[in-house]
């Protein structure tokens, strides 16, 4: 009897509960969430009617319009262009004294070259291994 009860509980946990949780029975048991209706965005039409306004401009005339005061005219005048005169700038540094002249050459003859040392006539004795 105890074995039957364990098998019944196992059957309940293994088969019936998953069916309730995710099967067709679950849709009948659990209510579906209600969705809020989404707002549909409307796209304005591409072609719109725009009122056309005709602007009539007056045609240009060759006669000048009358003015209250006469327009002054520029009279060219010969104005001399000022030129810059260079201003002398005194030197800020003092002149460097000239180098002293080289000493006059002397009447001495150059030193005679020395003879190279003579090679040794006797070769050195070979080192001995005995002390």
pLDDT tens-digit series, residues 41-82: 777 767 767 777 888 877 776 666 666 666 666 666 677 776
Confidence at 33, pLDDT banded by 50, 70, 90: low
Q: How many CB atoms lie within 10 A of CB 51?
A: 4
Confidence (pTM):
0.16
> Is the pLDDT at 7 greater than 70, yes or no?
yes
**Range in 29-33, 87-91, 92-96, 120-124 with the lowest mean pLDDT:** 29-33
Contact between 25 and 19 under an 8 Å Cβ cutoff? The reply is yes
């Amino acid at each position: 009897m105890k074995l039957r009860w364990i098998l019944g509980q196992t059957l309940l946990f293994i088969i019936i509960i998953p069916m309730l949780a995710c099967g067709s029975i679950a849709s009948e048991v659990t209510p579906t969430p209600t969705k809020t209706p989404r707002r549909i965005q409307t796209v304005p039409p591409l072609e719109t009617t725009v009122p056309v306004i005709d602007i009539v401009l007056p045609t240009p005339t060759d006669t000048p319009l009358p003015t209250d005061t006469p327009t002054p005219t520029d009279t060219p005048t010969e104005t001399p262009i000022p030129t810059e005169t260079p201003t002398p700038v005194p030197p800020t540094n003092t002149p460097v004294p000239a180098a002293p002249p080289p000493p006059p050459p002397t009447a001495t003859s150059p030193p005679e070259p020395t003879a190279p040392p003579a090679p040794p006539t006797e070769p050195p004795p070979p080192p001995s291994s005995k002390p």
